[in-house]
Amino acid sequence: MAAILLDVDGVFHVSGDPIPGGAEAIDRLRAAGHRLRFVTNNTTRSRSVLAQELRALGLELDDDELQTTPQAAARALAGKRVLALCMPAIVDDLTGIQLVGEGADAVLLGGCDETDEPNRVFSYMNLARAFSELQAGAALYCLHKSRWWQTSLGPLLDAGAFVAGLEFAAGVEATVLGKPSPAYFEAALSALDADPELSWMVGDDLEADIGAQKLGMRTVLVRTGKFRPDALDATQGRPDIIINSIADLPDWLERWV
């Protein structure tokens, strides 16, 4: 049976509204013996809260089956002084990091949410403070570099724009800790003791999710969440398979695996 990495936002829900058939698909995948790991670039809530929300949608999963970007940051930046521009809800997941307002070893940018919190986190003064730290020698990290994400109200601007702005202003390149970072996918595969060539990544984002192909993984793109036909036509890399939604995955895998 296959090892399967499953994106969360856009695959199982959009703004908390469940995508039909998601919970049943997980039950069938587990019953078929597939090894599952849920991977997300969500940077707005702690891992425990995200896991609770997924269970509330009917998905069967344990907290430790969910891999998040704050966990990746905690590993990569352990022991460092970090100026973090991120949603307050994930601060407790940044264990082992010393959060500071100046004299930082690293600047870390998280993502946006649908509240008014990004107005404060990514204010001009905070971005200017981050720029000053980068000018003084701090390294730039981001939990992801997404340009936008899909909500029930339509596409919303994400923090990738602020990451790109700091890269441009400070003349540096950010290290991406979440998808599509190879290290992020490798950590998920390691947790499943799986080889990339025998594993699948299922997601709605051509850049963050289908980027797993660079590691040798096979990929499935769902036509929910961020899926846009015009983006698919314009991209150079294409997923191995495209399905209407996560509900179609078990039937498709029965024929393929």
Confidence label for 238 from pLDDT (cuts 50, 70 and 90):
confident
Reported as a single tens digit per residue, the pLDDT across 63-89 is 999 999 999 999 999 999 999 999 999
In this model, does residue 232 exceed pLDDT 90?
no
Last residue of a domain, one of 143, 176, 209: 176
Residue 112: which domain range?
Answer: 70-176
Last residue of a domain, one of 176, 192, 223: 176
Distance CA 112, CA 124 (A): 15
pTM for the model stands at: 0.91
**What is the average pLDDT score of the chain?**
95
Last residue of a domain, one of 149, 176, 203: 176
Query: Can you list the alpha helix ranges (DSSP code H) found in 143-227?
Result: 160-170, 182-192
Distance CA 174, CA 162 (A): 11
In this model, does residue 200 exceed pLDDT 80?
yes
185-220: b or e for each residue (b if 16 or more CB lie within 10 Å)?
Answer: bebbbebbebebeebbbbbbbbbbbbbbbebebbbb
Reported as a single tens digit per residue, the pLDDT across 9-48 is 999 999 899 999 999 999 999 999 999 999 999 998 999 9
In a domain? residue 225: yes
Reported as a single tens digit per residue, the pLDDT across 136-181 is 999 999 999 999 988 888 999 999 999 999 999 999 999 999 999 9
Distance CA 174, CA 109 (A): 10
